[in-house]
Amino acid sequence: MKVTIFSAVVAFLIVLLLGPIVIPALRRFKFGQSIREEGPKSHQVKAGTPTMGGVMFIISLLITSIVVYQNITGPLAVALITTVGYGIIGLLDDSLKIIRRKNLGLRAYQKLIGQVTFALILTVFAYNNIGSDIHIPFTSSFIDLGWFYIPFMVFVIVGATNSVNLTDGLDGLASGVTLIICVFFAVVTFGLGKGDLSVFCGAIAGALLGFLKYNSYPAKVFMGDTGSLALGGAISALAVLLKMPFILLIVGLVYVIEVLSVIIQVTSFKLTGKRVFKMSPIHHHFEYIGWHETKIVSMFCIITAICCLIGFLAISF
């Protein structure tokens, strides 16, 4: 556990040091966020806020992993590849948004191709090295998915990654929720004796804690798709490598609610012409009914903390 805590401290300090360097550079190169015109009016003042801040915790994660756990092979290596790979997809998406000066980057199919590619790398590694069985929550049982493991896990990874991306809509929301989930996985990986993945979790948690100094309300920088997709990749990698995709549904309930709100909204509008929520994802709905950003973020973080406690109960092996 000492090594995990040390990795968190190192990552935290690196992000704190990168902030005064990266944020002014992003502002200087006019890497500012474009805001959806149909979004809450209160968000229009955020237009131009530096984005792509996710590069800070990606760099921190890489440096920390190399410094603390020099033998980067196996699960740690594939977890880093997945995280950085999804981060690169997000970086390309953010770059196109900046170039076009619109909240429109890569086309959906282009992002999907990249996401499926890195999901396959992670899934095939897991299939060949740790098996095709997954844990059933609240039991000590595992179920072997056989050949179905690969398409199932690819679906989980892509779905989870995009859910994290949808959650990144308020200052400190995605970073705060994911920080709590990473602490959960840090404890789990330590308990299972997986020191490399424990360092990975500690590094992400520490980096996000440092990032919150700049990303909490009012945000001085946004993580952008660079950061949200990278975080989605990291969380997905942990769920796959620990054989816990169903546990991710529990601890990541906020992610699930966010993506379901979009699905419900779109489906309802196409079938009936009516909207269920004032706006989706659901965090914007709460804004429209008068909740302040900080209240919404606090509520979602509390829900995540409670879900993580339930997650500990669900792991009984």
| Rounded-to-integer distance, Cα 83 and Cα 227, Å | 9
Q: What percent of the chain has pLDDT over 70?
A: 92
Backbone angles phi, psi at 135, to 5 degrees: -80, 140
Closest by Cα among 13, 83, 36, 32 to 55: 83
pLDDT for 120-158, tens place per residue? 999 999 999 999 999 999 998 999 999 999 999 999 999
| pLDDT score recorded for residue 317 | 54
Total domains present in the chain: 1
| Rounded-to-integer distance, Cα 43 and Cα 260, Å | 23
CB atoms near residue 251 (< 10 Å): 27
Beta strands in 133-199 (DSSP E): 133-135, 142-144
- Using the predicted structure, report yes or no on whether residue 53 has a pLDDT greater than 80: yes
Residue span of the structural domain in which 269 resides: 2-314
Q: Is 129 annotated as a binding residue?
A: no
Closest by Cα among 40, 33, 76 to 227: 33
pTM, entire model: 0.92
- Using the predicted structure, report yes or no on whether residue 71 has a pLDDT greater than 80: no
| Rounded-to-integer distance, Cα 44 and Cα 269, Å | 25
* Summary mean pLDDT of the chain: 91
pLDDT for 167-209, tens place per residue? 998 999 999 999 999 999 999 999 999 988 999 999 999 999 9
Helix axes 54-68, 195-215, angle to 10 degrees: 150
Q: What is the mean pLDDT of residues 306-314?
A: 96
Q: What is the mean pLDDT of residues 252-258?
A: 96
Are the C-beta atoms of residues 82 and 234 closer than 8 Å to each other?
A: yes
Are the C-beta atoms of residues 282 and 265 closer than 8 Å to each other?
A: no
Q: Is 103 annotated as a binding residue?
A: no
pLDDT for 221-231, tens place per residue? 999 999 999 99
**Least confident stretch, 72-81, 99-108, 154-163, 286-295:** 99-108
